[in-house]
Amino acid sequence: MNKAFLLLALPNTLAYAASAFADEKVQWSDVPAQGQKTITSHAGGGKIEEVEKDARK
């Protein structure tokens, strides 16, 4: 029973912990003009709902 509990609990724990490392949401006004231009051109006329900053180095 202990092993079964761990097998179920571990993936759930990892899923919740991953949210702690989520990217940072950025306001459109904080995106540099060149970045806005690039994002808008890649959107192809679609609606841009959110922008996130990728924290990878």
Per-residue pLDDT of the chain (57 residues; tens, 9 = 90+): 577 776 777 776 766 565 556 667 889 999 999 999 999 998 988 898 888 887 665
Note whether residue 38 is domain-resident. Answer: yes
Cβ(24)–Cβ(53) under 8 Å? yes
Q: Containing domain of residue 41, as a range?
A: 23-57
Note whether residue 18 is domain-resident. Answer: no
Kindly report the three-state secondary structure assignment for every residue of 1-57.
CHHHHHHHHHHHHHHHHHHHHCCEEECHHHCCHHHHHHHHHHHCCCCCCCEEECCCC
Note whether residue 35 is domain-resident. Answer: yes
Residues paired with residue 51 on neighbouring β-strands, in sequence order: 26
Note whether residue 12 is domain-resident. Answer: no
Note whether residue 7 is domain-resident. Answer: no
Note whether residue 1 is domain-resident. Answer: no
> What is the domain count for the chain?
1
CA pair distance 40, 43, nearest whole angstrom:
5
Cβ(36)–Cβ(27) under 8 Å? no
Overall pTM surpassing 0.75 (yes/no): no
